Amino acid sequence: MANMAQAIRMALHFSEENLDVKDIFGQDVGPPLGGVFTATQGLKTAWNAPLDERGIIGMASGIALTGERCVAEIQFCDYIFNTIDLLKMVGNTYWATNGNYNLPMVVMTPVGAGIRGSLYHSHSFDAWASRMPGWKIVMPSNPLDAYGLMLSAVDDPNPVLFLKPKALLRVRGSELIPGEPDNEKTLKEMIDAPIGDRSKWKPKWPKLEDYRVEIGKAKTVIEGTDLTVVSYGRSLPMCVEAANEMSESIEVIDLRSIYPYDWQAIKASVEKTGRVLFVNEDTEVTNFCEHLAYRCTQDLFYNLLARPKVVAGKNLPGIGLHANLEEASVPQKSHIKVAMEEVLSEVP
């Protein structure tokens, strides 16, 4: 099975060939490196940008103004913050011009902790991103969804921010991407750049097929009746593991899209279970999941058997390098299990 980095690479290749993507660019995105997480190796339209995040977002928005499609990368979301007003401008362009100009562009950026990245390679951006109206925001938790979400993002007429959970980029999926060879060694030989001299290397792409994950649609990963757990990205597989280790029947929803989000999936589940836990990695004060918890109290108050709970990153200025510091700063499986027990044990 492909890992998420390979899945994104294959989605971008499919997009170059079939969805009219003409530029895939960012720092170290082109040869020889093909991305610091290898997600852009071997792509014919990939090129290296100056080390200038504002230039990257600005150029992407200009390309999009012409109607041509591009995928721009910010190497780590920790470095996207100096582009925030450009992101705001991109998000408001269609609205501010009352529909005169839309910007069909994708910005992708690795997010979150889990690789011992310390202060500037561990940030999350999903809560920040949810405060940028006009953008669609997606974040996959597995390679197949990454492939399907990327194709949907590239084909969307609006700006889409594709958040890559960096700790999951090397994790293999459990489902084949349509067209992917079923032997992972074969896939590696076909599309992974060799170590050393790559100047003559060319990928041999599998015959990939179109596969979409609709933006705005969640996926119920485990069905259950006692508690709803809503998560996305890196914390989703932790929630699945935690749910499987609990004796109660826990429903786990992979939100996949942060905006627009699948309220109907959340609502149906919470109406069934009466209890809900939200999990993500971004800092906990004014966290996006607080909005979801708020909405549960407003729309589903009389269905609730317990207070909605949010488990998120601690509201700290950074994530410390040492494992003890990192693991105490962002949700781990043990934290999620404790929170599950708290919500499950509450007596209305």
Partner 1 sequence: MAKTIKAALKVIPKAQILKMYELMLKARVLEERLIKIYKTGEAYFWIGSPGEEAFGVPLGMLSKKGQGHKYDWFHMHYRATPTMVALGMPMIDSIRLIMNKKTDVCTGGRNFSNHYCFPQWNVAPVTSPIEVQYTQATGTAWVQKRHKSKGITIVTGGDAGSAEGDFASCLIWASRKGKELPMLVTVQNNGWGISTPFEGQHGEESVADRGKAFGFKTLTINGNDPIESYIKIKESMDYIRKNGKPVLMEAMVSRLRGHSSATGANLIVNEEDCLENFEQLLLKSDLLTEKKAKKLRDDFEKEARQAQEIVRTEEAPSADTIWDNVFVDNENADWRAF
Catalytic residues, by residue number, are: 121
Angstrom distance (rounded) from CA 208 to CA 222: 28
Cα–Cα–Cα angle for 100, 12, 279, nearest 5°? 85
285 binds partner 1 (CB under 8 A): no
**Beta carbon of residue 147, minimum distance to partner 1 (angstroms, whole number):** 23
Block residue for tokens 């997010």: 111
Angstrom distance (rounded) from CA 263 to CA 298: 13
142 binds partner 1 (CB under 8 A): no
Stretch that binds partner 1, among 98-106, 147-155, 206-214, 274-282 (CB under 8 A): 98-106
CB 146 within 8 A of CB 7: yes
The nearer residue to partner 1, 254 or 262, going by C-beta atoms, is 262
Stretch that binds partner 1, among 32-40, 164-172, 255-263, 307-315 (CB under 8 A): 255-263
32 binds partner 1 (CB under 8 A): no
**Beta carbon of residue 48, minimum distance to partner 1 (angstroms, whole number):** 10
Strands 257-259, 309-313: pairing is: unpaired
CB 156 within 8 A of CB 215: yes
22 binds partner 1 (CB under 8 A): yes
The nearer residue to partner 1, 89 or 171, going by C-beta atoms, is 89
Among 19, 33, 65, 176, binds partner 1 (CB under 8 A): 65
Count of residues interacting with partner 1 (CB under 8 A): 44
86 binds partner 1 (CB under 8 A): yes
The nearer residue to partner 1, 264 or 315, going by C-beta atoms, is 264
The nearer residue to partner 1, 41 or 83, going by C-beta atoms, is 83
HEC profile of 81-138: HHHHHHHHHHHHHHHHCCCCCCCCEEEEEEECCCCCCHHHCCCCCHHHHCCCCCCEEE
99 binds partner 1 (CB under 8 A): yes
Angstrom distance (rounded) from CA 232 to CA 312: 12
**Beta carbon of residue 157, minimum distance to partner 1 (angstroms, whole number):** 4
38 binds partner 1 (CB under 8 A): no
68 binds partner 1 (CB under 8 A): yes
**Beta carbon of residue 30, minimum distance to partner 1 (angstroms, whole number):** 12
301 binds partner 1 (CB under 8 A): no
CB 331 within 8 A of CB 311: yes
138 binds partner 1 (CB under 8 A): no
Q: Which residues lie near partner 1 (CB under 8 A)?
A: 22-23, 50, 52, 54-55, 57-66, 68, 85-86, 89, 93-102, 133-134, 136, 157-158, 216, 259-264, 291, 295
